[in-house]
Amino acid sequence: MTSCVALLIAAPASRQGKTTLTAGLARLHARAGRRVQVFKCGPDFLDPYWHELASGRPVYQLDLWINGEQDIRERLHRAAQESDLILIEGVMGLHDGKPSAADIARLLGIPVLCILSAAAMADTFGAVAYGLRHYPHPSGQPLPWAGVLANHVGSERHAGMLRESVVEDHFWGHLPRDAGFSLPERHLGLVVAQEVEDATARLDAVADALAKTALGALPWEPGCGASASASASASAAAAETGNERQASSWQDWRIAFPAPPKQALPQLLRDRTIAVARDAALCFIYAANLEALHGMGAEVVFFSPLANEALPPCDAVWLPGGYPELHAEALGRATTSRDSVAAHVAAGKPVWAECGGMMLLFERLTQKDGSTQALWGLLPGEVTMQPRLAALGSQQLDWGIGTLRGHTFHHSRCTTPLEPIAHTQRPSTGENVDALYRHGSIMASYFHAWFASNPAVTAALFGASRAP
């Protein structure tokens, strides 16, 4: 039986510090020479950049609806074989969504470590912690629990009040209010880690702060490689924090991950080369989607529109999402990239343009300040940035040959004379959401697809099987 130490990092809501804690723990253990594999619950392109920087490994999504249970079990089993520690960052609040992060924890028996922002809070901290742990589930199954850690703590006195409010022995310490290790944000979420000059220093600062908590000082393997100094520091930390849990080591959270039946993807893209745009402007790429393309037999090559690189020889193109609005001027000048993609389209070869990739193909972009920028003009119409989110949530594309799952997340709207050939739907209501456009050999939508959810539809997007 394959097993590995594993924790699911959750919170009562967004903006509590889940990403900070997850990335900080990954950095702390990676610095100690441990192999850390991080996962992210739900669809998210931005947090994984920080986790990848912290752990040194690609990050994968876990979502019971998008991935499915089979895929999740396969990924965790493989990770357990190759890792010392598995960290899973939750999505939104612990019990939010159907299915939720709590559902994943219950299904797989992974203990939950909750981080709670304690700003403007004292004894209510303990009430929230208790409620998160004991919130009832229709199955009656208790939630695997590792404990709580406080964030945004103002002083040691404040930390003491929080500690005393926790009625069960699962308080693991606190992180202070400190801009030195906060992770910068912008529209859509966190700034991509590679764009932050001091990103590694911020992660090190979080790791250093965590090392001072009882959680960070907990020995890795007491009596089996843990140093005497580590054990002593853990004991000292526990003594200072009163009712913090007296766990023996991180090995208390070792979980079995049995091997599920493996399911191979059909070779629908065999002998086809797919060129993928990848740079700071078009960076919303799931590692699992690249794996799916490889698993379906494709060769994947990359090019950078932002660097004005010509399209490499290929059978199909994927223009993923990202931040074209932040790089609109440079993209508008990328005539070599534009002309090579235009020649590809003129030859009747397929292009799948997704969200930001679709935005790039329109004639112009209007920013929130009213300024405009000419773009590539391969799709008729324009795109306009919005002051608020224009769409958010899980979606599916029912498209004649099957259903492709995914999601949407964008701050713009497009205006085009093109008539949609289909729409994505909300899985809960069947309501139409985002349009799917076809213009020559271009297929385009705001929809971010999860390729492995339907290989036949994915192959059709890349021209390797018959589209409806």
> Which residues are catalytic, by number?
355
By three-state DSSP, how is residue 5 classified?
strand
Q: How many CA atoms lie within 13 A of 3 on its CB side?
A: 9
Q: Considering just the CA atoms, what is the radius of gyration of the chain in Å?
A: 23
Residues 206, 208, 209, 213: is their CA dihedral positive or negative?
A: positive
By three-state DSSP, how is residue 372 classified?
strand
Three-state SS for 213-236 is CHHHHCCCCCCCCCCHHHHHHHHH
Question: How far is residue 419 from each of residues 180, 355, 378, 379, measured CA to CA in Å?
Answer: 49, 17, 16, 12
User: Strand locations in 320-421, DSSP E?
Assistant: 351-354, 364-366, 372-374, 382-385, 391-398, 403-410, 412-415
| Phi, psi dihedrals of residue 409, rounded to the nearest 5° | -170, 95
Rounded distance, CA 318 to CA 357, Å? 8
Identity at 211, one-letter amino acid code: A
By three-state DSSP, how is residue 361 classified?
helix
